[in-house]
Amino acid sequence: MSNGGTDSSRRPVGVVDIGSNSVRLVIYDRLTRSPVALFNEKSLCAIGRNMVTTGMLDEAGSDAAVAALARFREVTGAVGVSRIEAVATAAVRDARNGNEFVVRARDALGVPIRILTGEDEARLAGEGVLAAIPDADGVVGDLGGGSLELVAVSGGKQSVGHTLPFGPLRLMDMCDGKIERARGIVDEGLEKVPGLDKLKGKSLYAVGGVWRNIARIQMDEGEHAIRVLHHYEIARERALSFTNFLAGLGRKSLEQIESVTRRRVEAIPYGAVVMERLIKAAKLERVVISSFGLREGVLFSKLAAEERAKDPLIAACEDLSVRFGRNPALGRVLDRWTAPLFPGHDKEFDRLRRAACFLADTGWREHPDHRAELSFIHALNAPLIGVDHRGRALLALAMFHRYDGDDERQIKRVERFVGEDVARQAV
């Protein structure tokens, strides 16, 4: 797409992900260290349905996917997207008619479509998680409709990835709808993955719509204080008991759960089985949900080394300061001024202090009577990466106190979540 001479680095970029279950377009504000999604549309087409049986992409699903891609072309043109990266994953690469579909898809979307290998898919999912959680230590699991990609991550780097045919659409076909048989299939496949024995006590960084939906159900049940899925953590025993519970539910029972996405109902028990068996096989200690995955990995892989090296939390907060603050220089001035006031604190607290400095003036446009409350809510729910839920809560509490808030109902629940020490640090 031509940009007509305009600086394309400041214009939106799009990523199209053609998966076994869904076809998705995400438009990000620009190619940057901490991108923000401007537009996110998903069409659940299930092109990979019955592939184990037929070896072919589903005809009705393929037609729906092509129609969605034609619509995506209209949307990206209207928004003025400077570039589109389009990728296709397990179903397309494995189907006998995958290449024929790609020709139709390319003509509908208007840009080339890259068919990813399983190793490519794992690597890009790992890139996406490391972009959002640079200190990730464990294994990235990207569960799509047709496959599971696994890649170990530690110290900002990742190992060689592995792909397994355990996406819910394919798994339910392989096991003929029998959950116990699915458990056996997954166990047998995981036994062949090298290096799982080295992950004991580490984390599963869970990527993919089905796993996010499972986390949302669990979050709602536990009434978690923060309603953001990214970096939501589930301890081992809770994850095992909950996935086992979901795997045993029938369709009618799942449909009665408010937070279940209706078109993922049949996939959730199989996604739960894969998570449960992976946690057990690798003796993992917790699940950490990542909203960044393959699509963000595609963007991250395009960044210059200097941009990739930036702290994602500081980059995001500095960007918010520029967009919504009165003076773009204020955050840096506050950073220098407050640094000597907090001697002896660890590196993580210092990151949060710096982030708070950049956020400090972003609520100035709100009505004075509501600045504290609204700034608290915005910080608590902002599309921030590079920060866990406790850090997110500290920043929200700091904004509440920065605007001298006095409505304690707004903050008590979050203070209980983080504990007295963190609440005191926020003040």
* Tens of each residue's pLDDT in the chain, 427 residues: 333 334 556 799 999 999 988 999 999 999 999 999 999 999 989 899 888 889 999 999 999 999 999 999 999 999 999 899 999 998 999 999 999 999 999 999 999 999 999 899 999 999 999 999 999 999 999 999 889 999 999 999 999 999 999 999 889 889 988 999 999 999 999 999 999 999 999 999 999 999 999 999 999 888 788 999 999 999 999 999 999 999 999 999 999 998 888 878 999 999 999 999 999 999 999 999 999 999 999 999 999 999 999 999 999 999 999 989 999 899 999 999 999 998 888 899 999 999 999 999 999 999 999 999 999 999 999 999 999 999 999 999 999 999 998 877 778 889 999 999 888 888 8
* Burial 13-49, CB ≥16 within 10 A → b, else e: bbbbbbbbbbbbbbbbbbbbbbbeeeeeebbbbbbbb
The number of CA neighbours under 13 Å toward the Cβ of 81 is 24
Query: Model-level pTM?
Result: 0.92
Q: Would you state the structure tokens that stand for residue 356, as one six-digit string?
A: 């708070």
Spell out the residues 6+ positions from residue 40 whose beta carbon is closer than 8 angstroms to its own: 24, 25, 26, 27
Phi and psi for 347 in degrees, rounded to 5? -60, -40
Q: What H or E segment, with its residue span, contains residue 214?
A: helix 209-222
- CA-CA distance, 76 to 63, in Å (whole number)? 20
Phi and psi for 217 in degrees, rounded to 5? -60, -45
Spell out the residues 6+ positions from residue 343 whose beta carbon is closer than 8 angstroms to its own: none
- CA-CA distance, 98 to 48, in Å (whole number)? 10
- CA-CA distance, 331 to 362, in Å (whole number)? 10
> Is 316 exposed, middle or buried (CB count within 10 Å of its CB: 0-12, 13-18, 19+)?
buried
Crossing angle (nearest 10°) for helices 179-190 and 268-282: 40
- CA-CA distance, 204 to 331, in Å (whole number)? 35
The number of CA neighbours under 13 Å toward the Cβ of 281 is 23
Q: Would you state the structure tokens that stand for residue 64, as one six-digit string?
A: 């729906």
CA dihedral 260, 262, 266, 268 (to 10 degrees): -20
Q: Write down the pLDDT at residue 288.
A: 98
Q: Would you state the structure tokens that stand for residue 130, as one six-digit string?
A: 């490391």
Q: Write down the pLDDT at residue 7.
A: 55
Query: What are 40's strand-pairing partners?
Result: 26
Q: Work out whether the CA dihedral 52, 54, 60, 64 comes out positive or negative.
A: positive
Query: What are 14's strand-pairing partners?
Result: 27, 84
